Amino acid sequence: MSRFPIAVFFLLFAAGAFAQDTLPRFSVKNVGNNRFIVGWVNNYDLVKQISIQRSHDSLRNYTTILSVTDPAARENGFADTKVPNDHMYYRLFIVLDKGQFIFTTPQRPVADTARITKTGGIERPRDTSVAVIKPIIPKKPDFIPSFYVYTNRDGYVFINLPDADKKKYHLKFYEDDDSFLFEIKAIREPALTLDKTNFFHAGWFKFELYNDDKLIEKNKIYLAKEF
């Protein structure tokens, strides 16, 4: 019997990745396997809408591919997995207070320096300043953050599965001593956030990500103490 036979999960919306650039600046990272991460940091006091647009041309023919659910979020982004080629341009359409709006300067994808692993994950360099995702972790030898499950500086656990609508993902979490913690079955959302209260304490936790019965990734996350 598991330690927690009944688990209550607090799910929040999140995007698939984050970046350092502050609006109206944003970044577009090519992380391989036809995946492009558009990300930004929002410092505006009031934002009513942020839409991500894509075009073959840097000046015209833009199509909106997503309007984010929470435009006021401090850090946000999107993993574009339906790109016809790697020569696309991206821009953001930002609606501010009193009808003001901004079209950002178009950006083309920049190759991420992370190396794609055989399982489709991303092996990131030890210097996390060049990584798309920057989890808050203590120094620990040989730890490479996951592309799929990771923590941010606010201590929340993000689940990034851009193709969740096409596959049958489920996720198991364990204590660092391998004792079972809880499981999330039939993940259908491409981006979810788990509240840190699900983990009961700070420290290291292990996880296993499956597609059907196939193990996709086995890795760790770290939750820092709040005080």
**Is beta strand 110-111 parallel, antiparallel or unpaired with respect to 27-32?**
parallel
DSSP 8-class letter at 210: E
Q: Report all structural domains of the chain as residue ranges with CATH numbers, in order of start.
A: 27-111 (2.60.40.10), 133-223 (2.60.40.3080)
Of 194, 79, 183, 71, residue with least CA distance to 133: 79
**Residue in 35, 42, 12, 39 with CA at minimum distance from that of residue 26:** 39
* pLDDT at 42 exceeding the cut of 80: yes
pLDDT digits (tens, 9 = 90+) for 56-66: 988 888 888 88
Q: Which residue has the higher pLDDT, 87 or 26?
A: 26
Residues 58-88: tens digit of each pLDDT: 888 888 888 887 788 888 888 888 888 878 9
What is the 3-state secondary structure of 95-164? EEHHHCEEECCCECCEECCCEECCCCCEECCCCHHHCCCCCCCCCCCCCCCCCCEEECCCCCEEEECCCC
Looking at residue 206, what is its pLDDT?
A: 94
**Predicted model pTM:** 0.45
pLDDT, average across residues 114-134: 42
Q: Report yes or no: 151 and 222 within 8 Å, Cβ to Cβ.
A: yes
How far apart are alpha carbons 62 and 89 in whole angstroms? 9
Give CA–CA dist 53/62, Å, rounded. Answer: 6
